[in-house]
Each structure stands twice: as C-alpha cells, then as structure tokens.
Amino acid sequence: MVEESLSFTLAEEVFVTSAMAVTLLDTRVSPFGMRVRIALEEKGVKYEYSEQDLRNKGPMLLEMNQVYKKVPVLIHNGKPICESLIAVQYIDDVWNNKSPLLPSDPYQRAQSRFWADFVDNKVYFPGRKTWTKKGQELEAGKNGLIESLKLLEGELGDKPYFEGDKLGYVDVALIPFYSWFHGYETFGNFSIEAECPKLIAWCKRCMQNESVSKSLADPQEVYVFLMELRKKGLEEQEYPASSVNPFCKNILVLIRNGKQVCESLIIVQHIDEVWKDKAPLLPSDLYERTHSIICADFVDKKRHGYIHLEEELEAAEKDFFECVKLLERELGEKPYFANVDIAFLLFCCGFYAWELQHRGPLSLPEPEKACELGLETRKPEVLVAGRNCFERVWEVVELGCGHFGFSSKLPPLAIEPTQKLQTVWIGNDFHSVSSR
Ligand SMILES: N[C@@H](CCC(=O)N[C@@H](CS)C(=O)NCC(=O)O)C(=O)O
C-alpha cells in the first residue's frame, strides 16, 4: 500500500514536471504538426502551443531546428525534437504510462514504422502534386495517391485501426491527411471516397477520438491555405521522383522467423530491439536516443542529394558538403557519433560514404563521377569515422546473431556495397543470396 502510493506520487510528479516543460512550434494546417498534437493529446500532456509564421521564420524556430528549419518542433525541457514521426515516438517513449501508440512486439513495431514511413513518402508527395501540378503530372499525382491509399486500405483490412482496436502510431501518421483530402480532391477533381470507401470510414472512426478531432485543422481552412499558396505561385520545393531512397528500397530485407522487415533504419532499430542483450546500437537515454534517430534520419533524407541527373551534380555536391559539415559539427571530437559504442548514425553514414567513394549512385549515368567528389581528401574525418563504424557494425551483428554467409571483415575498399545490400538475412541464421 505504502509502495503503491509512493510510486503514484513519483509518477505524478514526473508527469507534472515534464508537462510544464513542453512547447510545440507548429502551424495549424501542418499535417506533420497534427501528428504531434494528436500524440500529446492522447497522452494527456499539457503543452504550450506556438504558431509559427513560415514566411518569416522566427529566431526560436531557426534555433531549435537548425537543420531543416521546419515545423513541427517539440521542445521538451528546453531540448528540441524535430521530425514529426520521431517526435511521436519520443512522446510514446517518455509518457509511456498511458495510451501506447507503438505496439510492444518488436516485429509489429517495425511494421508500424514501415507504414508510417510509407505515408511520408507515398501519400504526402503524390498528394502535393494534386494542388501544385497540372496535366500529366497532376494525373500522376492522383494515380499515385490513390494507389498508395488502396495499399493502406489493404493493410488496414477489417481492423478498426491500423494497429488493432485502438488508435496507434500508423493512425497518427496518416489521419492528418484527412484534413488535406478536401484540397487534393477539389484541385484534382476526383473523389477519394469513391476509390477508397473503407479508408474514409476509417478516417471518420479516427475522428471520433477527441485527440484527433481536436488536433486536425478544418479541411476548408487547409483548402484556403493551399489556394493562397497557389495564387502566390509559391509551390513548395519539388523533390525529384528518385528522392525516396530508391536503392535501399526493395533491396535490403531482413527476414526473421519468416517475417520481413524493410527499410534499413527500421531494420537496424529492429535488430537493436530484438537482440538487446549485446552491444546496444542506440543510446538508452531517451533524448540521446531520439537525437541519434534524428541524425540517422537526416543522413537518410539527404542521401537523395546524390541521386541526381548529371546536370544537377553541382547543386547536389554543394548540398552534400553542407550536410557533411553539419555531421562533422555533430561528430565534434568524439570517435563515433553517439556516446555509445557504435552509433546508429554512423551505420548509415558509413554506407553513404562507402557508396559515394567506391560505387557512386546507382542511377548516375557515369558512376565514377561520384568519386570525383573526393570525400577522402575533403572530409577525411567523416570518412574514417564512417569506415570504422561500418566495420564495427558487422562485428556486432556477427556477435549478436551468429553465422554470416560472408566475411564480417570488410576487405578494405574492395567490396561492392550492393552485394551487402542484396544480402537477405533469414531467421537467426544469416545467408547471403547471390546478387542480381
Ligand atoms: N518531415 C518533416 C516535414 C515537416 C514539414 O515539411 N513542415 C513544413 C510545414 S507542413 C514546414 O515547416 N515548411 C517550411 C519550409 O519548408 O521552409 C516532419 O515530419 O516533421
């Protein structure tokens, strides 16, 4: 009894302290911001809302999201957490006493992360074409959007919510777009409900949750916002079609106990969660952990800087070196990026550097062009750190998971990175499969 009341008091204290210390930099119509608002509402976290003017970004936003300068930014105890999906996971980790959003089973968690990532890549981008493009490009946007929504409908199946009976992570990732559908439909002159009736029924179900209905912007407000952007000709920056990490997708697949996990960063997190008794990849401190995930996500997003046509190479190179500078600042004097033995971040940075140095982007007509970047001479520290970490990661995977179908020691500078990427891991035994 005494114990019970003590733990109650402590839990409440933690809750009150942290609730007081939460601020959200956001804009009402942002679908990404809506995700964070839903998550905070679900957890009952009190927070200060700060509407940002994105045409005239204030010092707080520029300071708190130095890398992307975008909303939403969640600020907890003075420390920023950027990127909506990462912020939602952070909220789920910190306020874990109520309304879990991610499933507890590692495989289900990986699946949820996969679908949320799918929403970012395959709903948001084609959706944007419906209000920024005309003619064939508009048609391509509409078709792409419907195709993705149908896939999501299939994933939902007959369940009330994506993760089961209650609102979960994938629901939180997708539902904000419901308030954008009206804009998409009006500018694109089509009906989502006619194509995906079950998905619209799911949207209406989600809206019965107060956390959702309170957080979503009015569709009319979003429509007016999009109309104004169109009038001003302020189309958002266009991303190349290839921006969605084209060569990791469909190549790296982890199969464990017959179940597939896709997307490299999700796989790494999954490995870390399943084999958690040895060599942790992610820091245990929740903030540090989130920070590592943000950095890894940054590396992942920025790799598209390289998958460009030849004529875009110069701009891509500039962009790349800006990113490397940021990473270098992040690395500081540390041997690895995080304070742990092996940094999650460098896992991907290693890949990245490796590919640039030795192979070049797959879609580039002349792969050797990429090598002209001279990463080795221009940014030796980053490359060395990348290589070290790359080797260490293989060691750890071998330690933790047993037999590899190939050597864990990388022959210096000789191996084709795509051979690694095409390796399929099966169960607790790892086999390499032949390359394409
Ligand atoms: N991937 C980011 C996307 C955030 C984003 O695109 N935010 C937009 C508002 S909806 C923004 O701040 N745009 C300002 C800009 O691009 O300068 C997330 O999930 O948080």
pLDDT single digits (tens) 45-89: 999 999 999 989 999 999 999 888 999 999 999 999 999 999 999
pLDDT (tens digit, 9 = 90+) per residue, 217-260? 999 999 999 998 887 764 444 333 233 333 333 345 666 776 77
Mean pLDDT of 307-323: 59
22: left (phi over 0), alpha (psi -120 to 50) or beta: beta
Q: Is the CB of 54 under 6 A from ligand 1?
A: yes
Task: Express as a percent the part of the chain with pLDDT over 70.
Answer: 60
What pLDDT shows up at residue 46?
94
- One-character DSSP codes across 377-424: HH-HHHHHHHHHHHHHHHHHHHHHH---SS-SSPPTTTS-HHHHHT-E
Task: Identify the bridge partners of residue 48 per DSSP, sorted by sequence position.
Answer: 23
Predicted TM-score (pTM) of this structure: 0.70
Provide the b/e sequence for 33-68 (b: ≥16 CB within 10 Å). bbbbbbbbbbbebebeebebeeeeeeeebeebbebe
Domains along the sequence of the chain with CATH: 2-94 (3.40.30.10), 106-231 (1.20.1050.10), 253-435 (1.20.1050.10)
Lowest mean pLDDT among 226-230, 352-356, 383-387: 352-356
The CA-atom distances, in angstroms, between 332 and each of 126, 272, 337, 381 are 38, 25, 8, 10
- 267-292 per-position pLDDT tens digit: 778 878 888 776 677 888 888 888 77
Q: Which residue has the tokens 């204290």?
A: 13
Interval between CA 427 and ligand 1 midpoint (Å): 38
Q: Answer for the pair 215, 173: CB distance below 8 angstroms, yes or no.
A: no
Compute the distance from residue 24 Cα to the ligand 1 centre, in Å. Answer: 14
**Please, what's the b/e burial string for 78-111 (b: 16 or more CB within 10 A of its CB; e: otherwise)?**
eebbbbbbbbbbbbbebbeeebbbbbeebbbbbb
Q: Is the CB of 30 under 6 A from ligand 1?
A: yes
Three-state SS at 185: helix
Instruction: Indicate whether residue 72 lines ligand 1 (CB < 6 A).
Output: yes
Among the listed residues 295, 169, 301, the one whose alpha carbon sits nearest the alpha carbon of residue 243 = 301
